[in-house]
């Protein structure tokens, strides 16, 4: 069968779609890139905002026309919206064939094959630890040959008050270290040179879902990084996203000791105000967050940080906002994903009034974006004249005459390629110019 997969939302969803594709191809099916060629349409959906759900529902609704022309077409919905709404989706989308929850990723192949034979509505949103068995499948055309992603945990136990993830992705579970290492070796044998480890709370790997900060010398995630670091042929290891409280002494020391682990840490801040952090049910304070940042910086002097921040959380005052701005300037983030608060249906904060007016959220958003732009430009300017090592990624998306690569601390550099240049190799570049978001230079 020809299968078309459309993905909405985050990196975890993209990785799940790759796993779906890998399982389907292994079972003899073909992934196609247009809806018209497909026998099966799969929509891997997101619930992070109401708008994300409406977009997916609109698109799937539009597929009714295609199904009228092609009655054998199978249409399925997976991902967070499937989990959240379950069989209610059949009311709005009667031409839909199945709804598959986030805990049932591993059942996609038999489900599609059975629906082709026996047309009926199926909704399966049960949580199951067997989902871990489906997470290791790969399909290189969806991620690239030199870069691969491995999901090492699933779900989340933290219940931040604004977040829907614990309700739609289930309880936090970790894969066996042996499975993760086998998967990493398999990717490297296929030419992968950089691996991104993924998880909702990636640094909580192997802690059995315990939300308390581990002892300073206990970090199964650090043990995993140390083992990954030994894999021959692998050049770089990245990870996202870690919750700040898991950065204990062992994890920081291990990152510093493992030369393949990149020095760019994505450390979600969300707010710089202790009062708002408490309302968000984040288990750290401004001071403890800064302690983590300072400990990391002491061990990795060239580290760069990126973050997630929410502006306009219910009851956020101007002073609260200024505290966030202050922490962002103090850390000097190189990249920030700044979100204007909007309630996620079902999350705890959706039951309190969304009290900050839209224009105030927008104003706060613009202020932080302005700070970020100035800071990034200043940080990049300081690198002019330096020599940086990049992992070559390939042609620049906007100009195929130029190539690009990233430093270990995630700075993007464009350069003219030389003969024989290959993606997935490490090269040195002399930085000549700084732009607003990237650098350019010459290979040396
Ligand atoms: S840690 Fe908080 S924000 Fe992150 S996925 Fe879990 S509940 Fe959501």
C-alpha–C-alpha distance, residues 439 and 334, integer Å: 13
Average of per-residue pLDDT across 31-60: 93
The set of residues, in sequence order, having a beta carbon less than 8 Å from that of 70 and lying 6+ positions away, is none
Looking at residue 244, its pLDDT comes to 96
How far apart are alpha carbons 151 and 405 in whole angstroms?
24
Which token pair is 144? Answer: 């690239």
Atom of ligand 1 nearest to the CA of 157: 6
Which pLDDT score, from 0 to 100, does residue 320 have? 98
Helix (H) or strand (E) holding 400: strand 399-407
Number of DSSP helices (H) and strands (E) in the chain, helices first: 14, 19
If you measure from the C-alpha of residue 407 to the centroid of ligand 1, how many angstroms do you get, rounded to a whole number? 28
* Top mutation candidate among 164, 165, 278 for ligand 1, by most atoms within 8 Å of CB: 165
Percentage above 90 pLDDT, the chain: 92
Residue 298 has what pLDDT? 98
- In this predicted structure, the answer to whether residue 257 has a pLDDT above a threshold of 80 is yes
pLDDT for residue 144 is more than 80: no
The CATH number of 2-129 is which of 3.20.20.70, 3.50.50.60, 3.40.50.12160, 3.90.1280.10?
Answer: 3.40.50.12160
**Tokens 């956020």, residue located:** 316
Determine the atom of ligand 1 nearest the C-alpha atom of 270.
Answer: 3
Delimit the CATH 3.40.50.12160 region(s) of the chain. Answer: 2-129
How confident is the model at residue 147, as a pLDDT? 94
* 249 confidence band (pLDDT: 50, 70, 90): very high
Strand order, beta sheet including 147-151: 147-151, 194-198, 236-240
Tracing tokens 């002399």 back to the chain, one arrives at 430
Q: What is d(CA 391, CA 145) in angstroms, rounded to the nearest whole number?
A: 13
- Whether residue 108 is predicted with pLDDT greater than 80 in this model: the reply is yes
Parallel, antiparallel or unpaired: strands 194-198 and 147-151: parallel
Span from the CA of 381 to the centroid of ligand 1 (angstroms)? 35
Q: State the pLDDT at residue 51.
A: 83
For residue 143, the model assigns a pLDDT of 75
Instruction: Find the 163 Cα to ligand 1 centroid distance in Å.
Output: 6
Distance CA 16, CA 131 (A): 11
Closest residue CA from atom 1 of ligand 1: 158
- Report the top-level CATH class of 387-443: mainly beta
Mean pLDDT across 241-265? 97
**Tokens representing 199?**
């998880």
Cα 243 to ligand 1 centre (Å): 8
Atom of ligand 1 nearest to the CA of 166: 7
Q: In this structure, which residue's CA is closest to atom 8 in ligand 1?
A: 163
DSSP conformational letter for 226: H
* Helix, coil or strand: residue 253: helix
Phi-psi region of 28 (alpha: psi -120 to 50; beta: other; left: phi over 0): left
Q: What is the pLDDT of residue 117?
A: 79
**Which residue is closest in CA terms to ligand 1's atom 2?**
160
- pLDDT band with cut points at 50, 70 and 90 for residue 301: very high
Which of 11, 49, 163, 347 to mutate for ligand 1's pocket (most ligand atoms within 8 Å of CB)?
A: 163
Distance from Cα 66 to the centre of ligand 1, integer Å: 37
For residue 21, report the distance from its CA to the centre of ligand 1, in Å: 27
Ligand 1 center to 370 CA (angstroms): 27
Ligand 1 is surrounded, with C-beta below 6 A, by 156, 158-160, 163, 165-166, 200-201, 243
Which of 274, 250, 279, 256 lies closest to 355, judged by CA? 279
Kindly write down the DSSP assignment for every residue of 155-184, as one continuous string: --S---TT--HHHHH-S-EE--HHHHHHHH
Instruction: Specify the residue with its C-alpha closest to ligand 1, atom 4.
Output: 200
Residues in the chain: 444
Tokens standing for 422?
A: 């290959």
- Phi and psi dihedrals of 33, rounded to 5? -105, 5
The β-bridge partners of 123 are: 99
CATH 2.40.50 maps onto the chain at 387-443
> 250 alpha carbon to ligand 1 midpoint, in Å?
23
Best residue among 158, 198, 209 to mutate for probing ligand 1's pocket (most ligand atoms within 8 Å of CB) is 158
Q: Residue 415: which pLDDT band, with cuts at 50, 70 and 90?
A: very high
d(CA 124, CA 98): 8
Residue 106 CB: number of other CB atoms within 10 A? 19
Q: Which of 80, 84, 156 to mutate to test the pocket of ligand 1 (most atoms within 8 A of CB)?
A: 156
What pLDDT, on the 0 to 100 scale, is given for residue 397? 87
Can you state the angle between helices 286-299 and 249-257, rounded to 10 degrees?
Answer: 30
Task: Name the token pair of 384.
Answer: 């002019």
Identify the band that residue 424 occupies on the pLDDT scale cut at 50, 70 and 90: very high
Q: Is pLDDT above 90 for 140?
A: no
The closest alpha carbon to 341, from 374, 308, 373, 372, belongs to 308
Q: What does the buried/exposed string (b/e) look like for 334-370 if buried means 16 or more CB atoms within 10 Å of the residue's CB?
A: bebebbebbbbeebbbbeeeeebeeebbeebbebbee
Rounded to an integer, the average pLDDT of 209-223 is 95
Q: Cβ contacts of residue 104 below 8 Å, gap of 6+?
A: 124, 125, 126, 128, 131
């Amino acid at each position: 069968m020809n299968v078309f997969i459309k993905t909405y939302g985050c990196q975890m969803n993209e990785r799940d779609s790759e796993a779906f594709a890998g399982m389907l191809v292994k079972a003899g099916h073909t992934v196609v890139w247009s809806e018209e060629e497909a026998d099966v349409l799969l929509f891997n959906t997101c619930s992070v905002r109401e708008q994300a759900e409406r977009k997916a529902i609109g698109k799937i609704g539009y597929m009714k026309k295609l199904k009228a022309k092609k009655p054998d077409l199978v249409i399925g919905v997976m991902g967070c919206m499937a989990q959240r709404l379950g069989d209610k989706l059949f009311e709005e989308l009667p031409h839909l064939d199945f709804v598959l929850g986030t805990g049932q990723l591993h059942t996609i192949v038999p489900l599609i094959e059975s629906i082709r034979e026996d047309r009926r509505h199926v909704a399966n949103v049960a949580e199951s630890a067997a989902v871990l068995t489906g997470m290791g499948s790969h399909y290189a055309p969806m991620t690239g040959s030199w870069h691969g992603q491995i999901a090492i945990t699933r779900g989340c136990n933290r219940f931040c008050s604004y977040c829907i993830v614990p309700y739609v992705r289930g309880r936090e579970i970790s894969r066996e270290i042996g499975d993760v290492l086998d998967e990493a070796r398999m990717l490297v044998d296929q030419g992968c040179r950089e691996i991104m480890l993924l998880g909702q709370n990636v640094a909580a790997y192997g802690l059995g879902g315990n939300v308390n900060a581990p002892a300073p010398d206990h970090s199964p995630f650090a043990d995993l990084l140390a083992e990954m670091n030994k894999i021959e042929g692998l050049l770089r290891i990245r990870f996202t996203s870690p919750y700040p409280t898991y950065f204990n002494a062992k994890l920081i020391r291990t990152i510093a000791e493992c030369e393949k682990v990149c020095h760019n840490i994505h450390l979600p801040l969300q707010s710089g105000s202790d009062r708002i952090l408490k309302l968000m049910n984040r288990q750290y304070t401004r001071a403890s967050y800064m302690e983590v940042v300072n400990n990391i910086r002491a061990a990795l002097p060239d580290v760069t940080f990126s973050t997630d921040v929410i502006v306009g959380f219910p009851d956020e005052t101007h002073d609260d906002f200024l505290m966030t701005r202050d922490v962002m300037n103090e850390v000097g983030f190189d990249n920030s994903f700044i979100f204007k608060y909007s309630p996620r249906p079902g999350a705890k904060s959706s039951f309190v009034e969304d009290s900050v007016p839209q224009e105030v959220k927008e104003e706060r958003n613009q202020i932080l974006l302005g700070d970020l732009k100035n800071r990034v430009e200043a940080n990049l300017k300081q690198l002019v004249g330096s020599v940086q090592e990049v992992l070559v990624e390939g042609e620049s998306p906007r100009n195929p005459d130029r190539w690009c690569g990233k430093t270990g601390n995630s700075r993007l550099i464009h350069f003219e390629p030389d003969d024989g240049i290959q993606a997935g190799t490490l090269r040195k570049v002399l930085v000549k110019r700084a732009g607003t978001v990237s650098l350019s230079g010459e290979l040396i």
